[in-house]
A and B are shown apart, each in its own frame.
Chain A
Amino acid sequence: MRGLIYACGWLAIIILGAIAAFLIHNSVRAIQEAGIGTMLSTTAWYPTSSPGKFGLLPLIVGSLYVTGVALLVSVPVGVGAAVFISEFSGRRVKDVMKTIIEFMAAVPSVVYGLIGVAVLIPLVKDIFALDSGMTALTGGVVLGIMSIPTVITISEDALHAVPADLRRGSAALGNTRWQTTYKVTLPAAGSGIFAASMLGLGRAIGETMAVLMLTGNAAVMPASVLESVRTMTGTIAAEMGEVVQGGLHYSVLFAVGLVLFIITFAINLAADLVLERQRKRWRR
């Protein structure tokens, strides 16, 4: 039994390593022929012209715009909801909210995409008087909503981990519950809330389907979030079906995947380190 569990643990590491090796292996051609520096510093993405131009910057910036907007949505809403659940609601409200959040997390991203198409695209078009409502903003907002459950769950854990004695200590000094929350509880849970935001970010940056449906997918450098963008994930999903297997374009898409892998890996690692530090802190 114990051996089996060990094997599962090792298997996870082996799979992770295999993914990295696989991505690197398939990116080698892109790195050699298109050049890592060129890919990461130029803005022209014409993969099908000859010779193809493989500037990844529009895609990277597109992803950053969308995830930036997503963060602006998911962090305030997610942290606010976590504070409400953990500090201001009774058992029953808490249980109901938790169930709702689980449902939110279980809805497939295509469904979020559909709702975005039906509701948000026309709305953004009207509000900002644009020709098209398919923008980085549109995708970002929907992505933000999608990552709210992650942010709530992890933030709530962090708030829950703050010892009740601290809240009582603050209340005993004549602080209202709200004062206690922003002066003691939130700062004490700060690193966990940071980690929650990071994991929400990780969720947003890796999301594909909804952004593909909502951002318009123009692979040009966007000047603002009100322009159409194409994300790294969207690019891979949209173009993988049309490339020659083993070709340069094919390899470049793997390089995009590698960039994505490195970014998400780094984000998750950072979040984990912060969470671990927080856990140690309360283990007095």
Chain B
Amino acid sequence: MVIPMQLSADGGAVITAVRDAEYTAEVTGGAIGSFSLTDVSVAYGRDRVIEGVTMDVPAHAVTALIGPSGCGKSTLLRCLNRMNDELGNVHVGGRITLDGQDIMGKAMDPVELRMRVGQVFQRPNPFPMSIFDNVAYGPRTQGIRSRTELSDLVEATLRSSALWDEVKNSLKKHAFELSGGQQQRLCIARALATRPEVILMDEPASALDPISTQQIEDTIAALKSSVTIVIVTHNMQQAARISDKTAFMLRESLEAPAFLVEMGDTKRMFTNPEDTRTESYITGRFG
């Protein structure tokens, strides 16, 4: 699984996502980073919070997860990189495949999965170290030691997350000295640096000001040619602006688990939803 990093002519980075997992080409028709969920359910202890979610997350596109607070969007997102494992006492049922490969079975090492499926959190969480070391953190875990290789990687990913111009002269600066928006773009760069197929984002702009939010959205738009993005958002305008597909989840009562109401092209979901519940949620949120 070697992914060449190239700098395009204008200096902007292009992560050419070429992976040589042979089966990938067969299963997904060439594109990589697609999920397929079949009858996925999640329970925290005895509390069943999600049930019967079946959906396909297409590669190299932005998929938005929307729904009211507490309907399990974050929980479902965490299934995709097995971060629920970290919480303990969480049971995930059903089947999830990444490029045709089962990610929930014993055969899949969660550590390896997380290098392929990165995550950006709601609040920026840079490590207490320099900007450079933050971005180089994942690659170092992967065993990359060469200084030049790391420098190239850091530059390329910081360009991809549109932070390079602001930090290129201060890579040794402590990450905590950056603004909130810069920190979040640093976290995106950090996630990109392991050259993942997919990046999961859980309300990545909810803690940011409008300008920083705009920058994050621009970054997402630029990234989708090379990685699959799954984003949770409460902001309907944002979902409409940046996503290709939208999935609407709902938990109708505390007794019953949440489920997927419908999923489809964002344009259709926002103009002509099949389900009236989708319509009322979206119009309500557009307010």
B114 lies within 8 A of A174 (CB): yes
Q: Is A163 an interface residue, CB under 8 A from the partner? A: yes
Q: Chain A interface mostly helix, strand, loop or mixed?
A: helix
Contacts of B187 in A (CB 8 A): 169
- Per-residue CB contact flags for chain A residues 165-197 toward chain B (1 = under 8 Å, else 0) read 110111111111001000110011000000000
Contacts of A166 in B (CB 8 A): 125, 127-128
Return the chain B residue nearest A173 by Cβ: B138
B129 contacts which of A174, A175, A187, A281 (Cβ < 8 Å)?
A187
Q: Is B23 an interface residue, CB under 8 A from the partner? A: no
Q: Is B240 an interface residue, CB under 8 A from the partner? A: no
- Per-residue CB contact flags for chain B residues 178-195 toward chain A (1 = under 8 Å, else 0) read 000000000100110010
Within 8 A of A (CB), among B49-83: 81, 83
A170 shortest CB reach to chain B, Å = 7
- Chain B contributes a number of interface residues (CB within 8 A of A) equal to 27
Q: Is A2 an interface residue, CB under 8 A from the partner? A: no
A175 contacts which of B111, B121, B126 (Cβ < 8 Å)?
B111
A173 contacts which of B86, B88, B118, B128 (Cβ < 8 Å)?
B118
Q: Is B14 an interface residue, CB under 8 A from the partner? A: no
The A-B contact count (CB < 8 A) is 63
Most chain A CB neighbours (cut-off 10 Å) among B86, B88, B113 = B86
27 pairs from A and B in contact (CB 8 Å cutoff): A163-B125, A165-B123, A166-B127, A168-B86, A168-B121, A168-B125, A169-B125, A169-B187, A170-B127, A171-B83, A171-B114, A172-B81, A172-B114, A173-B114, A173-B115, A173-B141, A174-B111, A174-B112, A174-B114, A174-B115, A174-B138, A184-B127, A187-B129, A188-B127, A281-B128, A281-B176, A284-B176
Q: A171-B86, A172-B191, A174-B111 are in contact. List 12 more A-B contacts (CB 8 A).
A: A166-B128, A168-B86, A169-B187, A170-B127, A172-B83, A172-B118, A173-B114, A174-B115, A174-B141, A175-B111, A184-B127, A281-B176
